[in-house]
Structure 1
Amino acid sequence: MGYVTLRTWRQRSAATAARAATLKARLAAALDLGPQDALSVTEVACADPACAGLETVVLVLRAGEPSRAIRLACALDAVDDEAIWAACEGERLQRRR
């Protein structure tokens, strides 16, 4: 890995934060979250050899319910509508139990 300046690092961090904020807004609407609920979106390195290298982890924190983790097997910038729909469907099924 080459030398990264503080300015470059901040630009990358800002871009990642913007993508995470956009994804949070889309997920909050799709999951029908209320103002008392929260989401955390994080891109992490995947330790599974079958994984593509990065995955996106979404923590769903609903008021009065246990928190749930949703794992998307793709990088933050690769999350598409299909992945969001599948994640939300899985969350809906979990809540019915």
Structure 2
Amino acid sequence: MARFFFTRRGGIEDDQRDRVRRLAELTRAHLALPEAATVSVTELACGDPGCAGGAETVILVMRPGRRTAAAKILKAVAHVEDADLYGALEGLVEAPAGPFGGD
């Protein structure tokens, strides 16, 4: 399941919706998420001088039975490239389970 939010300037345009959907799909594939997991992609206003375009993209990954994990990209959704996404998701990648249940 993917959730799409756009809170920066009101409604979400079709091309913006497509970009958000693509980021959610890439996140799901990159993290090999189960169907029961939810991915939320949100663009928020950002006052940090490091934010390109005055916005940041926040990706929440909600796996069943686990705490919600977050990744931030200091760019507006329209400016996020695949490399930005994969770099932000690096800390959320889980190591494959070993023969003894995850060790």
After TM superposition, where is structure 1 displaced by more than 6 Å over at least 4 residues in a row? none
Which has the larger share of helix?
1
The Cα RMSD (Å) is 2.1
- 1 CA distance for matches of 2:87 and 2:50? 20
* C-alpha contact (below 8 Å) 2:59/2:71 kept by paired residues: yes
- What is the TM-score normalised by the length of structure 1? 0.76
Residues paired across the two proteins, number: 85
- 1 CA distance for matches of 2:85 and 2:62? 17
Structure 2 residues not aligned, in runs of 5+:
1-9, 95-101
Per-residue deviation, 1:38: 0.6
Cα distance per residue 1:33-69 (max 9 Å; x no partner): 1101010001111122332311100011011100012
- 1:84 maps onto 2:85 in alignment: yes
When structure 1 is superposed on structure 2, of 75-84 and 34-43 the one drifting more is 75-84
- 2 CA distance for matches of 1:46 and 1:65? 28
Q: Identity of paired residues, percent?
A: 35
SS class of match (2:14): helix
Q: Which residue of structure 2 lines up, in the alignment, with residue 55 of structure 1? A: 56
- 1 CA distance for matches of 2:50 and 2:77? 18
Q: Which residue of structure 1 lines up, in the alignment, with residue 69 of structure 2? A: 68
- What is the TM-score normalised by the length of structure 2? 0.72
